[in-house]
Amino acid sequence: MQKLVVIGAGMATGRLLEHLFEADPAAYEVTVFNAEPRGNYNRIMLSPVLSGEKSYAEIVTHDDAWYTANKVTCRFGERVVAIDRDRKVVTGERGEVPYDKLVFGTGSDPFIVPCPGHDLDGVVAYRDLDHTNRMVESAAMPGARAVVIGGGLLGLEAAAGLRLRGMEVTVLHLSGHLMDRQLDPAASYLLQKDLERRGIAVMTQASTKAIHGDGHVAHVELEDGTELPADLVVMAVGIRPSARLAREAGLEVGRAILVDAQMRTSDPDVFAVGECVEYAGHLFGLVAPLYDQAKVLAKTLLDEEDAFAVREVSTKLKVTGCDLFSAGDFAEGEGREDIVFRDPSRGVYKRLVIEADRLVGAVMYGDTADGNWFFGLIKDGTDISEMRESLIFGPAYQGGAAQDPLAAVAALPADAEICGCNGVCKGRIVEAVEGGATTLDAVRAETKASGSCGTCAGLVEQIMSVTLGDDFVLPAAKPVCPCTDLTHEDVRRLIKARELKSQPAVWQELGWNTPNGCHVCRPAVNYYLLADWPLDYRDDPQSRFVNERNHANIQKDGTYSVMPRMWGGITTPDELRAIADAADKYGVPTVKVTGGQRIDLLGVPKEQLPAIWGDLNAAGLVSGHAYTKGLRTVKTCVGTDWCRFGTQDSTGLGVKLEKMLWGSWTPHKVKLAVSGCPRNCAEATCKDIGIICVDSGYEIGVGGAAGMDLKPTEPLVKVVTEAEVFEWVVAFMQLYREHAKYLDRPYKWLAKVSLDWVRETLADPAERAALNERFAISQSVYQYDPWKEHTAAEQERRYQPLADLTLEAAE
C-alpha cells in the first residue's frame, strides 16, 4: 500500500477521499493533517449555522466514524511545519510522516484589511467554525452592534446571520453596489432593498480608515469621517490562496500553487486541489470546480486518465427569503445582446446575456425558478436561436406573453400618494372606483384626485384600469420613450409616491425594459431625481447632454462656447479686460454680445476649457450656465439709478434675483428680466418670469416665450416690496421645478396645469414658505461654480484625451 498524506481536511480533499475510497479502498494508506481541531464539514453552510438555521452537527460531512471506517490517520489540530521533498517526509508539529504521494488542500486565508486596529479583540474573519462561534458569542449580548466589512457573498450572509441573531448590523462595501462581481446594479438594488427590509444598514462606497478601541473594538472610522459604534467587526473582503507551505517546499507557485489539468504540481508526486490552486491563470472560490478537481485528482492518483476543465459557475446567496441567482459571464465581452425582464409588483428582475445565439450569462432576483435551466444552457452552450423570443420566460413558458405595462401601478401600496395637490392616495381612488366611479370625471368628483394641476390624471386612469380590469379602456398616453410605458407625469408622480431615490430604483420599480435607459429618458429621470431628492440623489454626469456635462455649449464644429455670468448685465472694466485677455490668449475666433446682456467667447476646443475657465475665475468671473436647463440670465434696465423714467431699482433687483437663483436645475431653461418701468426696456413681458416695476410696487408675470412660440407673460401677482418679489419668484420656480415635465418651458407647463391652479397654490403663504424652503435646500447642494470645480486637477483630466497615440509614434 502506498502512503498518501493530505494537508487540509476541507471540502475538496474530503471529496477526493470519498472518490478514492469508493474506487479503490486498498490503494492508499491515508494520513490527513488539519490545522482546525476537527474533520471535514461543509464550510459553505456555515452561514446558516451562524444564523441558527442549521446546527453544526448537520453540516459535518465526515465524522469520526467515517475516518475510522476508512482507516484514515487523523492528525487534526496539528499544523504542518515543513515538507522535505527529497526524503519524501511531511513534518507536523507532533512529528514526521513519510509519503509516496502528497496532496495540498491548504485552502485559503481570509484577507484582513491592514487598517489600524485590525488586530483588536472583536475583529474576526469569517472562514471557519471558530470564527462562526466567536460571532455567535458576540451576538449573545443584547443590543450588540456589528459592522461587516465587505458586501460580497460571504459578508452579506454574515450580516443576515448576525441580524437574525439579534444584532444591529451595518455592512460596509467599497464599491458602488453590493456583490458587484456577481450582480449588475439593478439586481444589486433589489438585494440592498431586501437587506434593508431586514433591518440591515448598507453603506456603499464606504472605505474603512481605522478600527478603534481600547483592547476591544469600540468603533469603526470611515474615510469620510463617519464613526460607527461596533462590538464586533467582521472582515469579509476576500480570500488569499494559502500557498506559503508549498512555496517553502520549493514548489512552483504563482498567485497560488500551480497545477496541470491532472492537479499535479511541479513535483510529480505532489498534488493540490481546492482554493490553494492556480490552474491556467484561474483561482477557485466556489465549490463546484473544487469538486471537479477532487474527481480528477482521485483518477490521477489511481493512474487513470482525466483532465480538469474550467467551467462556468453559478452563485446563490444563502439568506432565507432572498432569491438571487447569477451565472456565467454577464459583464464582459463584445457582440452581446441583453434580454431584460422586470416585474415591479413581484420585485423581480431578470437579465440574460446572449452572444452568437448562445446564452452566456444570467442574473436573476426575486424569481430564480429557472436558474438551473439557464445555467444548463450556459454550460452546454445550447443554440437558443429557436427560443430566443420566449427564452426569458423559462422552459415552462414558451408562449411569450408581453409584460404587463400596468405592473408598476398595480404594485403601488394603498397609501401611496397619487394626487399630491389634494393628498389623495391610491386606496381612496380604488375605493371610489369600487364604489361605482368608472370615469375619470367621476373619480375626480368624488376624490378630488387630478382635480387641481391634473398631472396625475394618467396615473389615476391606470389605477382605474388595474381596478376595473377589462371594463376600462385606457386612453393612449405618450410614454417618455420606448424604455417604458409611463408618461413623464406618471414617472414624476411615482418617483415621489414611491420614494425612488436612484436611477436603478426607477428602472426596476417602474419596470423599464432596457438595462439602463436611453438618451431620452436618462436626462429626464436624472433631473426628476435631483429635483425631488436633492440631499439623497447625486447628479449623474453620464445622464446629461454634452453641454451640461462639459459646462459649455458644443458648437457645430465640436468646439465650445464660454460665457461668464454678468450679474444683471452689469460688468466692470477689470472683468472686460480679463475677458479680452482670455480671448487673446486662447485665440478665440468670435466674441459676441448676447441678447442676455453678456459676452460669449465662441470656438474654444474642449481641452482648453479648464484653462480658460481658470483664467476667468481668477478675475472673479463664474460660469454663466448658458448651457443648462437651469437659470440662464436676468436681464435688467438701468432703473432709478440712471433712468429718468425708472420707478424702482430694477438693476439691483435683477442682480439680487440672479444671485438667489443661479445654479439651480430646472425642467428647461429659465430666463428672467426686470424692467424699471412699464416702458419695458428689459423686455420682461416675453420672459419665463418677468418683473415690471411700477410706482406702487412690482408686477410679476410668468409664462412668456420668445422662441419658436411667441407669447407674452400673464400676470401672476402684484406685490409691494422686494422681499415679496423674492418670495413669489422662488416659490414659482420651485413649483415649476417640482411639477413640470422635463423639457417643458414654464409657458408649456402652465398650459397644462393652468395659471389659475398656480395662482391658487401660491396664494397660500404656508405653501410659498414651504416651496422657498425646499428651494433653499436644493440650492445648498447645487449652487456652486462648476468652472471652479472643473479646473481642479482631478476633473481637468476629463477634458483631455485619455491617450495620444500620435505623439508616441513620433518619439
Partner 1 sequence: MDTVIDTTDRTFVEVAEIWVPEGDRLVWGGGAYGGLGGFEVASARESFGKGEGLPGNAWAEARPVVLKEFDGSYFKRTEAARAAGLTAAVAIPVFAGATLKAVLVVLCADDAERVGAIEVWAEGDGVLTLEDGYYGAASHFEWVSQHTQFPRGQGLVGGVWSAEAPILMRDLGSAYRFMRADSAGKAGLTNGLGLPIPVPGGRTYVLTLLSARSTPLARRFEIWDARTAKVGAKKEARLVDGICSREGPLWDPDNAGRERAVRIWQGPVGHALGSGLPVVESGSAAGGYAMMVALPIHAHGELSHVVAWYC
Partner 2 sequence: MNWIDIGALDDVPLRGARLVKTHAGCVAIFRTGEAEVYATSNTCLHRGGPLSEGIVHDRKVTCPLHNYVYSLETGEVVGPDAGRIATYPIRVEDGRLLLDGDAVGKRSAA
Which positions touch partner 1 (CB under 8 A)?
Answer: 42, 44-45, 49, 51-55, 57-58, 136, 139-140, 142, 160, 163-166, 197-200, 287, 291, 316, 319-323, 346, 348, 366-372, 394-397
* Among 143, 268, 542, 573, interactor with partner 2 by CB under 8 A: 542
Q: In angstroms, what is the minimal distance from the CB of 806 to partner 2?
A: 5
* Among 40, 170, 502, 543, interactor with partner 2 by CB under 8 A: 543
Q: Candidates 279-287, 446-454, 551-559, 661-669 — which segment interacts with partner 2 by CB under 8 A?
A: 551-559
Antiparallel, parallel or unpaired: β 89-92 and 95-98: antiparallel
**In contact, 428 and 417? CB cutoff 8 Å:** no
Residue 256 and residue 243: Cα distance in Å, rounded? 6
Q: In angstroms, what is the minimal distance from the CB of 802 to partner 2?
A: 4
Nearer Cβ to partner 1 (44/331): 44
Residues linked to residue 690 through DSSP beta bridges, in sequence order: 673, 701
Could you tell which of partner 2, partner 1, none binds residue 333, using a CB distance below 5 to 8 A set by kind?
A: partner 2
**In contact, 46 and 162? CB cutoff 8 Å:** no
Structure-block grid coordinates of residue 122 = 472583536
Which residues between 554 and 583 bind partner 2 (CB under 8 A)?
554, 556, 558
Residue 319 and residue 200: Cα distance in Å, rounded? 13
* Among 550, 561, 772, 791, interactor with partner 2 by CB under 8 A: 550
Q: In angstroms, what is the minimal distance from the CB of 430 to partner 1?
A: 14
Residue 722 and residue 56: Cα distance in Å, rounded? 75
Residue 181 and residue 283: Cα distance in Å, rounded? 14
Q: Candidates 48-56, 217-225, 312-320, 541-549 — which segment interacts with partner 2 by CB under 8 A?
A: 541-549
Residue 281 in the binding site for partner 2 (CB under 8 A): no
Nearer Cβ to partner 2 (506/691): 506
Could you tell which of partner 1, partner 2, none binds residue 243, using a CB distance below 5 to 8 A set by kind?
A: none
Could you tell which of partner 1, partner 2, none binds residue 320, using a CB distance below 5 to 8 A set by kind?
A: partner 1
Could you tell which of partner 2, partner 1, none binds residue 523, using a CB distance below 5 to 8 A set by kind?
A: partner 2
Could you tell which of partner 1, partner 2, none binds residue 470, using a CB distance below 5 to 8 A set by kind?
A: none
The interface mask with partner 2, positions 500-519, x = CB under 8 A, is --------------xxxxxx
Could you tell which of partner 1, partner 2, none binds residue 316, using a CB distance below 5 to 8 A set by kind?
A: partner 1
Residue 319 and residue 159: Cα distance in Å, rounded? 10
Give the closest residue to 739 by CA, choosing from 726, 723, 757, 715: 757
The interface mask with partner 2, positions 770-809, x = CB under 8 A, is ---------------------------xx--xxxxxxxxx
Nearer Cβ to partner 2 (545/782): 545
Structure-block grid coordinates of residue 22 = 469508493
Q: In sequence order, which residues have a C-beta less than 8 Å from that of residue 729 and are 6 or more positions away? A: 657, 661, 672, 689, 691, 700
Q: In sequence order, which residues have a C-beta less than 8 Å from that of residue 580 and are 6 or more positions away? A: none
Measured in residues, the chain has a length of 811
Give the closest residue to 549 by CA, choosing from 561, 560, 537, 540: 540
Residue 229 and residue 337: Cα distance in Å, rounded? 46
Give the closest residue to 326 by CA, choosing from 358, 357, 293, 349: 349
Q: In angstroms, what is the minimal distance from the CB of 369 to partner 1?
A: 4
Q: In angstroms, what is the minimal distance from the CB of 18 to partner 1?
A: 12
Q: Which residue type occupies 616?
A: L
**In contact, 349 and 323? CB cutoff 8 Å:** no
Nearer Cβ to partner 2 (720/792): 792
Nearer Cβ to partner 1 (164/657): 164
Nearer Cβ to partner 2 (410/611): 611
Nearer Cβ to partner 2 (133/513): 513
Give the closest residue to 61 by CA, choosing from 30, 40, 76: 40
Could you tell which of partner 1, partner 2, none binds residue 808, using a CB distance below 5 to 8 A set by kind?
A: partner 2
By rule CB under 8 A, what count of residues binds partner 2?
Answer: 39
Element (H, E) at 28: strand 28-34
Could you tell which of partner 2, partner 1, none binds residue 695, using a CB distance below 5 to 8 A set by kind?
A: none
Nearer Cβ to partner 2 (553/761): 553
Could you tell which of partner 1, partner 2, none binds residue 768, using a CB distance below 5 to 8 A set by kind?
A: none
Q: In angstroms, what is the minimal distance from the CB of 284 to partner 1?
A: 16
* Among 546, 580, 763, 777, interactor with partner 2 by CB under 8 A: 546
How far from each other are the two terminal CA atoms of the chain, in whole angstroms? Answer: 67
- Cα 663 to Cα 299, 554, 627, 631, distances in angstroms: 70, 19, 11, 7
Give the closest residue to 234 by CA, choosing from 114, 129, 164, 132: 132
The sign of the torsion formed by the CA atoms of 339, 342, 346, 347 equals positive
Could you tell which of partner 2, partner 1, none binds residue 3, using a CB distance below 5 to 8 A set by kind?
A: none
The angle that helices 426-434 and 457-468 make with each other, rounded to 10 degrees, is: 50
* Among 338, 404, 446, 575, interactor with partner 2 by CB under 8 A: 338
* Among 184, 343, 744, 785, interactor with partner 2 by CB under 8 A: 184
Q: In angstroms, what is the minimal distance from the CB of 399 to partner 1?
A: 11
Q: In angstroms, what is the minimal distance from the CB of 209 to partner 2?
A: 21
Could you tell which of partner 1, partner 2, none binds residue 283, using a CB distance below 5 to 8 A set by kind?
A: none
Could you tell which of partner 2, partner 1, none binds residue 367, using a CB distance below 5 to 8 A set by kind?
A: partner 1
Nearer Cβ to partner 1 (156/457): 156
Q: Exposure of 37 by Cβ count < 10 A (0-12 exposed, 13-18 middle, 19+ buried)?
A: exposed
Give the closest residue to 701 by CA, choosing from 676, 721, 684, 722: 684
* Among 458, 523, 690, 701, interactor with partner 2 by CB under 8 A: 523
Residue given cell 419695458 in the structure block: 680
Structure-block grid coordinates of residue 524 = 429626464
Rounding to the nearest 10 degrees, give the CA dihedral for residues 457, 459, 465, 467: -110
Nearer Cβ to partner 2 (515/678): 515
CB atoms within 10 A of CB 733: 26
Footprint on this chain of partner 2 (rule: CB under 8 A): 180, 184, 331-336, 338, 514-519, 522-523, 541-546, 549-550, 554, 556, 558, 797-798, 801-809
